[in-house]
Amino acid sequence: MAQDVVNTSMQSRVDRMFARDRIWAWGFVIALWIVLAFVYFAVSGYIVDGTAKIVAAIAAVLVGVFNTASIAAMISHYGHDKKFIYELDIRHLDANR
C-alpha cells in the first residue's frame, strides 16, 4: 500500500515536470517564430534585391521549421522516456534537499 502511494506520488511529479518542460519548449518555439518574423520584417526594408528578400524569407522559414521539428522530436522522446528521465532528476533533487 505504501509503495503504491510512493509510485503514484512519483508518477504525478514526473507528469508535472514533463508538462512544465513541454510548455516551456513550445513557448520557446513560439518565441523563435516571433523573433524570426520580427527580424525578417525589420531588415527586409534594407534589402533592395527581390531575390535576396525571397532567399531571406526561405532561410527564416527553414530555420523555424527545422527548429520546430527538433523541439517536437525532443518532446516526443521525453514523453516516451519520461519515467526514466524525470525519476532520475526527482531522486537527485530530493537527495540534494
pLDDT at 34: 98
Predicted TM-score (pTM) of this structure: 0.80
| 37, 57, 69, 75: CA torsion to nearest 10 | -10
DSSP the chain: -HHHHHHHHHHHHHHHHHHHHHHHHHHHHHHHHHHHHHHHHHHHTT---HHHHHHHHHHHHHHHHHHHHHHHHHHHHHHHSHHHHHHHHHHHHHHH-
pLDDT at 8: 76
Spell out, as residue ranges, where the chain has pLDDT lower than 50: none
